[in-house]
Amino acid sequence: MTAKTLFTLTLLTGLTGCGLVSTQAVYEEIRAQEKTKAVGTGAAPSNGLPRYDQYQKERSGLSPEAR
- Tens of pLDDT, residue by residue over 1-59, are 788 888 888 887 877 766 667 788 888 889 888 888 877 776 555 567 888 888 888 88
Neighbours of 34 (CB within 10 A): 13
Q: Report how far residue 24's alpha carbon sits from residue 28's, in angstroms, rounded to the nearest whole number.
A: 6
Q: Which candidate, 54, 48, 53, places its Cα nearest to that of 31?
A: 48
Question: 19-31: b or e for each residue (b if 16 or more CB lie within 10 Å)?
Answer: eeeeeeeebeeeb
pLDDT of residue 65: 63
pLDDT at 40: 74
Q: Which of 61, 45, 50 is nearest to 27 (CA)?
A: 50
pTM of the predicted structure, to 2 decimals: 0.51
Which one-letter DSSP state was computed for residue 66?
-
